[in-house]
Amino acid sequence: MTDDGSNIIVVKDLVKKFGTFTANDKLTFEVRKGEIFGFLGANGAGKTTALRILCGLSRPTSGFVHVAGFDVSRHPEEIKKRIGYMSQKFSLYEDLTVEENFTFYGGIYGLSRKQIKEQTNFLLENLKFHKSKEILIRALPLGWKQKLAFSVAIMHRPKVVFLDEPTGGVDPVTRRQFWKMIYDTASSGITVFVTTHYMDEAEYCERISIMVDGRIKALDTPASLKQRFNAINIEEVFLKIARN
Amino acid sequence: MTAPAVWVENISKKFDRVKAVDRVSFAVQKGELFGIIGPDGAGKTTLIRILTTLLLPDEGKATVAGYDVISSYKKVRHLIGYMPGRFSLYQDLSVEENLEFYATVFGTTISENYELVRDIYKHLEPFKNRLAGKLSGGMKQKLALSCALIHKPELLFLDEPTTGVDAISRIEFWDMLKRLKKRGISIIVSTPYMDEALRCDRVALMQEGRFLDIDEPEKIIGKYDKKLYSIHTTEPYLLMENLRENVDIQSVIPFGDHVHFTTRKDVEIDPGDLQEALIAKGFKDIAVKIIKPGIEDCFMDLMNIEPQ
């Protein structure tokens, strides 16, 4: 496998088995630096399994997986330092304030006090939220929590941030504000790896992969996939691939 | 005269200072498929929990199949099937044991009402000895629906049955609901997915405890009073930045590979002129059209908030 340095994630023949069940069956793909990469698939297709491996939380049964320049089997701790992660389920501490959450996670990521302060101010100002940093997370609507959780996930300037269904259940306006944040984050040089069940959001990705039964069945730009499958939108592409 | 399936007058419920449900009134007719559409935190679950007699309202009155949800709660519980948002079957019982348990609690048997659940349960039968906790998401959903149906309820309350479910399973689930409706069961279902509104007879659009509107989906769309433009593009964010510089344009909202926009009051834009102007600016594969809004356009219009 050659890596010319333009890819932040390189996966070749990734296999993950649980007993006799093959959750990931020879996955091969690359994600470029600064790209917004959509990772789609039906429930049970094996997305979460692959995501956990990419984050260094689980080891592949076989295959080559490099994230941010490190091999997941040999250096998972190095990978964890260089990535960010957020999901709808794992969010912020409800009984801490907004600022306390930033300080806490900044500490976990090993930032200095000065860096924590700078990053907290910078990110909260971007959200126009700096006047409300004393509010408890519990008192905030879901949409705000998700936007803050995203900010926390990138406060240590990771090489790549993994977003696992970040907009599930979020109102339509906030959902779009969230995608604006994704664009801004990617253009600042952080690669975004995102899963979603909203097919309109898949269209915002530079490239998407679609998993079915543990395998990647398609991987390309949304425009090329629509053309190849003769579909009017990604939902139709998804239905055609997953039903076959 | 028969009572409506659900009748609600001025129901409110507060948690601390948060008004989860704020003076909501509506009725659902027998045999209707009624959708409560709104994001997380809109109050959908609170409203459904009040109607299923699991939570007391602070004020207001509600009946289900003609029975008061407070004074006749036992009667209501026998007439309804309820599928909560969080999977709450017994994880350490098998698929079949769960279904048998729910049938027994309601004084019936699986075989007595098998016909009603057959369509759904047949997908699970190969796994009937598997523990419910070991099922995949889609199968848990089918088992929960089977358990909610096994006592042959008159009404079905489904709280976000399709949340976190992929696009295909969602379509299949709504097809199942359509078949249940044909059997005369009234269905009240909540969802955060705006596009699912079109699968309902009538919907309530809910936000911050209030109903923004309640009507047939097509009528809600018909009430949208602005001219809505849509541009197909491969570069939505670049295009949006460009459109926002145009003083005639009011709101600019991304919709997948399209951007929707509206103009300021009394301003009209010729789609052909705009298309030419954008092509001159270097945009490729651009197509500007005037379109009929979708429910999501209507919802955002009613929310009356501009996405940034």
**Looking at the domain assignment, is residue A101 inside a domain?**
yes
Shortest alpha-carbon distance between residue B307 and chain A (Å): 5
Which class for A148: exposed (0-12), middle (13-18), buried (19 or more C-beta within 10 A)?
A: buried
Q: Is the predicted pLDDT of residue B267 greater than 80, yes or no?
A: yes
Shortest alpha-carbon distance between residue B41 and chain A (Å): 7
DSSP bridge pairs for B187: B33, B156
**Tokens describing residue A85:** 């992660």
Predicted local confidence at residue A97, as pLDDT: 96
CA–CA dist A56, A65 (Å, integer)? 10
In the block, residue with structure tokens 């409506």? B4
pLDDT grade for B176, boundaries at 50, 70 and 90:
very high
B266 vs A191, residue with greater confidence: A191
What integer is the mean pLDDT of B229-249?
Answer: 92
pLDDT grade for B308, boundaries at 50, 70 and 90:
very low
As for how many domains chain A has, the answer is 1
Which class for B268: exposed (0-12), middle (13-18), buried (19 or more C-beta within 10 A)?
A: exposed
Integer CA distances (angstroms), A58 to A51, A55, B277, in order:
9, 8, 52
pLDDT grade for B306, boundaries at 50, 70 and 90:
very low
**Looking at the domain assignment, is residue A30 inside a domain?**
yes
Q: What is the pTM of this model?
A: 0.88
Q: A222 to chain B: which residues are within 8 Å by CB?
A: 257
Provide DSSP, B103-171. HHHTT--HHHHHHHHHHHHTTTGGGTTSBGGGS-HHHHHHHHHHHHHTT--SEEEEESTTTT--HHHHH
Spell out the residues 6+ positions from residue A182 whose beta carbon is closer than 8 angstroms to its own: A36, A163, A192, A194, A204
Integer CA distances (angstroms), B277 to B245, B255, B274, in order:
13, 21, 5
What integer is the mean pLDDT of A152-178?
Answer: 93
Q: Is the predicted pLDDT of residue A2 greater than 70, yes or no?
A: no
In this complex, which of B166, B234, B305 lies closest to A173 when CB atoms are compared? B305
CA–CA dist A162, A200 (Å, integer)? 19
**Looking at the domain assignment, is residue A164 inside a domain?**
yes
Predicted local confidence at residue A88, as pLDDT: 74
Q: Is the predicted pLDDT of residue B305 greater than 60, yes or no?
A: no
Q: Check B257 against A222: CB less than 8 A apart.
A: yes
The region of weakest confidence among A77-86, A87-96, B88-97, B119-128 is A87-96
What integer is the mean pLDDT of B175-199?
Answer: 95
In the block, residue with structure tokens 């301003």? B267
What integer is the mean pLDDT of A222-228?
Answer: 95
User: What are the φ and ψ backbone dihedral angles of B9, each rounded to 5 degrees?
Assistant: -130, 115
In this complex, which of B168, B194, B254 lies closest to A42 when CB atoms are compared? B168
Percent of chain B with pLDDT over 70: 98
In residues, how long is chain A?
A: 244
Percent of chain B with pLDDT over 90: 82
What tens digit of pLDDT does each residue of B123-139 get? Answer: 899 999 999 998 877 78
Is the ipTM beyond the 0.90 threshold?
A: no
Residue A198's domain spans which residues? 7-243
Q: Is the predicted pLDDT of residue B221 greater than 90, yes or no?
A: yes
**Looking at the domain assignment, is residue A1 inside a domain?**
no
Q: Is the predicted pLDDT of residue B40 greater than 90, yes or no?
A: no
What integer is the mean pLDDT of B8-26?
Answer: 95
The region of weakest confidence among A17-21, A168-172, B183-187 is A168-172
Task: Count the Cβ atoms, other than its own, within 10 Å of residue B42.
Answer: 28
Which class for A1: exposed (0-12), middle (13-18), buried (19 or more C-beta within 10 A)?
A: exposed
Summary mean pLDDT of chain B = 93
Predicted local confidence at residue A189, as pLDDT: 94
Q: Check A43 against B257: CB less than 8 A apart.
A: no
Predicted local confidence at residue A3, as pLDDT: 55
Predicted local confidence at residue B41, as pLDDT: 87
Q: Check B41 against A233: CB less than 8 A apart.
A: no
Shortest alpha-carbon distance between residue A4 and chain B (Å): 27
Percent of chain A with pLDDT over 70: 98
B300 vs A91, residue with greater confidence: B300
**Tokens describing residue B262:** 């509206």
Predicted local confidence at residue A89, as pLDDT: 74
Predicted local confidence at residue A233, as pLDDT: 92
| B232 within 8 A of B257, measured Cβ to Cβ | yes
Percent of chain A with pLDDT over 90: 85
CA–CA dist B54, A75 (Å, integer)? 50
Predicted local confidence at residue B212, as pLDDT: 95
Inter-chain CB pairs, A–B, below 8 Å: 95
The region of weakest confidence among A118-122, A140-144, B18-22, B274-278 is A140-144
- Interface probe for A, chosen from B168, B207, B283, B302 (most Cβ of A below 10 Å), is B168
- Interface probe for A, chosen from B37, B291, B308 (most Cβ of A below 10 Å), is B308
**Looking at the domain assignment, is residue A27 inside a domain?**
yes
Q: A179 to chain B: which residues are within 8 Å by CB?
A: 254
CA–CA dist B135, B90 (Å, integer)? 12
pLDDT grade for B304, boundaries at 50, 70 and 90:
confident
Q: Is the predicted pLDDT of residue B287 greater than 60, yes or no?
A: yes
CATH of the domain at A12: 3.40.50.300
What tens digit of pLDDT does each residue of A68-79 get? Answer: 999 999 999 999
Q: Is the predicted pLDDT of residue B147 greater than 60, yes or no?
A: yes
Spell out the residues 6+ positions from residue A180 whose beta carbon is closer than 8 angstroms to its own: B237, B307, B308
Q: Check A169 against B192: CB less than 8 A apart.
A: yes
pLDDT grade for B165, boundaries at 50, 70 and 90:
confident
**Looking at the domain assignment, is residue A78 inside a domain?**
yes
Q: Check B166 against A165: CB less than 8 A apart.
A: no
A66 vs A5, residue with greater confidence: A66
Q: A223 to chain B: which residues are within 8 Å by CB?
A: 234, 257
Task: Count the Cβ atoms, other than its own, within 10 Å of residue A138.
Answer: 12
CA-nearest residue of chain B to A171? Answer: B39
CA–CA dist A102, A98 (Å, integer)? 7
CA–CA dist A51, B251 (Å, integer)? 36
**Looking at the domain assignment, is residue A141 inside a domain?**
yes
What tens digit of pLDDT does each residue of B69-88 get? Answer: 999 999 999 999 999 988 88
Q: How far is CA B189 from the centre of its chain?
A: 6
Residue type, B173: F
CA–CA dist A84, A154 (Å, integer)? 6
What integer is the mean pLDDT of A226-232?
Answer: 95
What integer is the mean pLDDT of A80-84?
Answer: 95
**Tokens describing residue B209:** 């405890």
User: What are the φ and ψ backbone dihedral angles of B265, each rounded to 5 degrees?
Assistant: -55, 135
**Looking at the domain assignment, is residue A176 inside a domain?**
yes
Q: What separation, in Å, do the N-terminal and C-terminal C-alpha atoms of chain A show? A: 31
B115 vs A4, residue with greater confidence: B115
The region of weakest confidence among A184-193, B3-12, B211-220, B229-238 is B229-238
Predicted local confidence at residue B168, as pLDDT: 86
